[in-house]
Structure formats: structure tokens, C-alpha cells
Structure 1
Amino acid sequence: MTNPLRNAVVNGRPSTSSRPRLPGRQRALLAACGAVGLIVAVWLAGFLIGDEALTTRLAWRNLAPSLTHPFGTDWLGRDMFVRTVKGLALSIGVGLAAATASTAIAAAMGIAAAFGRTADRIVGWLIDLFLSVPHLVTLILIAFVFGGGMKGVVIGVAFTHWPSLARVIRAEALQLRNADYVAISRRLGKSRAWIATRHMLPHLLPQLLVGLLLLFPHAILHEAAITFVGLGLSPHQPAIGIILSESMRYLSTGMWWLAVFPGLSLLLVIRSFDVAGESLRRLLDPKRAHE
């Protein structure tokens, strides 16, 4: 016969099996709140820090990381911590605009596919067409056509990141089309726009919200990528892509902090968006409601 105290205590320490663990949904909620809190803190800090903090101070140039300058300074004496925070805030703003526009396109395409075979074939063909071309190539072409800058980046990301989410929304909309309440509304003479906004869109909001959060890291990464090659934001803006592009000229001189800290900060923000999106998907998944 096993002793319960022996199972609960191993070598004077409580066993891992007896330690209370938070339910899965509570852990997902805490992870989502922590990730969103970090993103909001970075975004607010970028707006609260004034532009005067980016002024050049030649007496402080090329300083290594220290307590005064945690991320060091660049060749013009600008504080790299301030530049990184403002660059991340700018990237979050661009990513929000681009991801929102891309989510709206995906919602329109997915819902349109539920109204007729012809519309479904056209939407399916467009999804396959955009998925067959690499995102970055199409993004660079669109950004170049629209003249680069913030407008070119937002339009390019919006028109290249909607197909994957549109495929999910399209499948959900096709199932909703055959629902009884949709058929009743159609028999009562309700228009397609009324059915789409009153019946389909409320059911698709959880998928759209999760898709919006998961599109954020792709939008930020691709914004930094095309800015890095010179087709994105203006060089006068403290964007992460510009910071990384400028730092390449000084890495050989030993100024490693110019690229390491901004790059790690960008990865941290992107990872926060991934955690927030995955946690929200777990919270909205009905199959995990019992956790």
C-alpha cells in the first residue's frame, strides 16, 4: 500500500505532481495580458519620448552600452535605446494599419465567396495566385509602384498578407451559408449585405481578431525587411529597418550594439504578438473550454 505522504514529499521537497497548476485557459489569459501589456508599453513609450532625445551629441558618439546608455550610442551620439523604442513604436503603428487593412480584405473576400459559385471561384483563384508568389517579392514590387514610404509599405503589406486568412474565413463562411437561420433570412427576402453583416460577420469576428494578431508579426518583419533594402520608410524616420541597415557599416569596427539590441528588441516584440495571438486562439477555441 502506497503512502500518500511519500508521494507528496520526495526527499523533503514537495513533488511536482502535488504542486497546484493554473488551468490552461488562465495561463493563456495571463500570457495574452502580459504580451499585450508589453506591446502597449513599447508603443506608449515611443510616443511619450520626445524627438529632442534623438538630437546628435558628438561628445557621446560611439559609446558602448552602460548604465547611462543601456543600448550604447551611434556615430552621431544618439542614444540607441531611444532610437530603438521609437523605431519599435513606429513599426507597431505601421503593422497595425497594414494588418487591419489586410484583415478587412480577407473578411471581404471570404464573405463574398459564400454568395455564389462564380464569386467563390474568383476568390479561390485570387488566393491561389497570391499564395503562389513569395510575399517579399510582391511586397517590394507593390511598394516600389506606390513610391515607397509609409504609404507604399502599408499598401504592400495589406495586399500581400490577406490570402491565408481569407482561406480560413472563406471556409467558415461557406459553412455559415448553409445554416438554417441564413436560409430563413434568405427566404424572408433579406439582402446579401444584411445577411453578411447580421449573420456571418458576428460569427467570424473571433477568427478575424486572431488573424489580425497573427498578421502583426509578419507585417512588422516585412516592413523592416523592405526598409532595410531601402524601399520602405524614410531614412529620416527611426525605423528598425533603417537602424539595422545603417549599423551594417559599423559592425566591422566593433560597434556590435548598433545591430544586436535593436534586432533582439524587434524579435521580442514579434514574439509578443505571436504569444498574444496563440493565447487568444486558445481562449476562443470551444474545444478547450473545459481546461
Structure 2
Amino acid sequence: MTSVALPQAGRRRRSLVFAVATLVVLGLAVLLVPPIVQLDERIVDLRSAGLPPSLSHPLGTDEVGRDVLLRSIYGLRVSFTVGMVASLVSITIGGLVGLVAGSVGGTVDRVLMRVLDGFNSIPHLLLGIFIVAMFSPSPVAVVVSVGVTHWTTTARIVRSEVLSLRSRPFIEAAISGGASRARVLRRHLLPHLFPHLILATVLMIPHAIWHETALSFLGLGLPPHMASLGNMISDGQRSLLTGDWWASLAPGLFIVLPTLAVALLANHLRDRLNPRRRSELSL
């Protein structure tokens, strides 16, 4: 048992180090590079168009001469900011719906769950396209699209946790002692729900980034001139026809690496929040 647990513990430790190191490096790049190197989205340099990776341009240039690495960093900053805000909106909506449904119950619970089932019956991307089509391409449109379409999972998690907590002895004792619903919510429910909301937020950020990337790739997300990973991949597919593979590879890596890092970090957080699951994995 010990010999099996030790390699698993080592792998989990290495994956955590990789995730933290990747997020730190990308975070420092996003925070430090834009203030130092300014990027004007509308300036083109056709003399430097389509240059392969070199010392002056580590990831080459795109079809109009813009540095791919610099635009990828700017695009990651935009995508991460939009994804983080959208995930917070989604978690807030889902948390409130799940909290009301689980704590009130009865007709309110049934109505909210039917609304949730209605949202789940529509593909998220299709509903997101319908929402952003009502706006001009902008970060606000993407935030609204992700926030409105991705709250259902959080709502189900919060509702199930509230229903489970309501039957616990300490909740029943608090209610029997005359505690108001607001006090039970503030002192007993929210402290137990907070770790689950943190984990849901961490998991939602890369999902929101992929959603923004898909919308921008389709031309419905961020404005075409804005440095976005989705816009860069969309522009880079034209460069593939001329052999300029780096124009699509770089933004693709800037999507995959933080997504993988966040997924590994979320797995570690889930193991920490659920010691029973961690002990079962070590058997």
C-alpha cells in the first residue's frame, strides 16, 4: 500500500509544481510585459509580415507583421480577464439560484430546477452565440454570454450541498434554538459552501476562456482588431495556407498551457477539500 501511495504522491506533487510554475510564469508575463512593451493593434508592418521565429521575434510574426509572442501575451491577458469576470458572474448566478432553491424548497425549488433544466436542454455554445448576436462584438457581450449560459452546474452543486446540510444536526439545533434563516445562512451554510464555490470558480475560468476563444474564432466575441487568442487563431488559419504554422501554434499553446495548469491545480484543491477522496486514491 505504501509503495503504491508514494509514486502517486510524487506524481501529484510534480503536477502541482508544474501547474503553479506555469501559472506564475504566464501571470508575470501578463502583468509585466504590457506596461513595458506597448502594443498598438492598428499598426501593421508589411515588411516584417510572415517572419519565422528568430531572436528578434521568438514566435515569428503574423500576416501583417505583428509580433506573435507579444500579441499572444496581450491576448492571454484579455482572455484571462474576460474569463475571470465571466466565471465570477456565472458562479454568482449559480450560487444564488442553488442557495435559494435548496434553502427555500417547495414550489420555489421545483420552479428553479425546471428553469435550470430548460437552460441545460440548449447547447451552451448555441445559446452563447444567440446572446452575443444581440450585441456588437465586445468583452461585455462575452461576459454576459458565459455568465448566462454556465451557471447551471454551480446551481446544482450548491443546491445539493444545501439540501445535505439542512439535515445535519447542527443546522437543526440552530433552527430549534431560534436562529433566523439569515443567521443560519451566514454562520453555518456559507462557510461550508465557500470551498465548493472557490473550486467551481477555478474550474470555470479555463472553461470561460475556451468559450471566449470559440466566440472570437467565429467572429462573434471580441472586436477583430483586439489581441485575443480566438482572433489570433482565426487569423492564423489563413497563414497556414502559406506555411506560417507559428501564427496559430503560439496562441494555441497559450490556451492549452493555462487550461492544463488550472485543471491540475483544481484536482489538487479538490483532493485537499475532500480528504476522503484523497485517502481512497492512495490505497
TM-score norm. by structure 1 comes to: 0.85
Residues 193 and 236 of structure 1: CA distance in aligned 2, closer, same or farther (over 3 Å):
farther
Residue 59 of structure 2 is aligned to residue 74 of structure 1:
no
Partner of 2:187: 198
Partner of 2:16: 32
2:51 to 48, 63, 69: 63
**TM-superposed deviation, 1:187:** 3.1
1:255 paired with 2:241, answer: no
Q: Based on CA coordinates, which of the two structures has the bigger radius of gyration?
A: 1
- Tell me how far 1:80 sits from its aligned partner: 0.4
Q: Does 1:232 align with 2:221?
A: yes
Q: How does 1:109-258 map to 2 (within 5 A)?
A: 109-114=97-102, 115-258=104-247
Q: Report the CA distance shift for 1:193/1:29 in structure 2 as closer, same or farther (over 3 A).
A: farther
CA pair 201-83 structure 1, distance change in 2 beyond 3 A: same
After superposition, the Cα gap between the structure-2 partners of 1:18 and 1:173, relative to the gap in structure 1 and judged at 3 Å, is: closer
Q: Is the 8 A contact 1:57 1:76 kept in 2?
A: yes
How has the CA–CA distance of structure 1 residues 106 and 253 changed in structure 2, closer, same or farther, with 3 Å as cutoff? same
User: Which residue identity is paired with 2:241?
Assistant: S
* 5+ long unaligned stretches in structure 1: 1-16
Matches of 1:174 and 1:222 in 2, distance apart? 31
Alpha-carbon distance between aligned partners in 2 of 1:101 and 1:35, rounded to the nearest angstrom: 25
CA–CA separation in structure 2 for the residues paired with 1:155 and 1:280: 28
1:21 paired with 2:6, answer yes
Given residue 49 of structure 1, which amino acid in structure 2 is its aligned partner? Answer: V
Over 3 Å counting, the alpha-carbon distance change for 1:57 and 1:268 in structure 2 is same
What is the rounded CA distance, in whole Å, between the counterparts of 1:174 and 1:81 in structure 2? 49
Contact 2:22 2:257 in 1 (8 A): no
Question: 3-state SS of the aligned residue for 1:253?
Answer: coil
> What is the SS of the residue equivalent to 1:236?
coil
Report the Cα offset of residue 228 of structure 1: 1.1
**Conserved in 2, the CA contact under 8 Å of 1:153 and 1:233?**
yes
* 1:40 CA drift (Å): 3.7
Q: Give the structure with the higher percent helix.
A: 2
Percent of aligned positions that are identical: 37
Instruction: Output one character per residue of 1:211-240: Cα deviation in whole Å (capped at 9) or x when no partner.
Output: 111112211111001111111112232100
2:252 & 2:152 partners in 1: Cα distance?
28
Stretches of structure 2 lacking an aligned partner (at least 5 in a row): none
Checking the alignment, whether the CA contact within 8 Å between 1:113 and 1:174 is kept in structure 2 is no
Tell me the equivalent position of 1:100. 88
2:38 matched to 1:52?
Answer: yes
1:18, distance to aligned residue in structure 2 (A): 7.6
Provide the residue aligned with 1:89 in structure 2: 77
Structure 1 contact 32–277 (Cα < 8 Å) conserved = no
Output the amino acid matched with 2:148.
Answer: F
Separation in 2, partners of 1:130, 1:44:
37
Normalising by structure 2, what TM-score? 0.88
CA contact (8 A) 2:62 2:239 kept: no
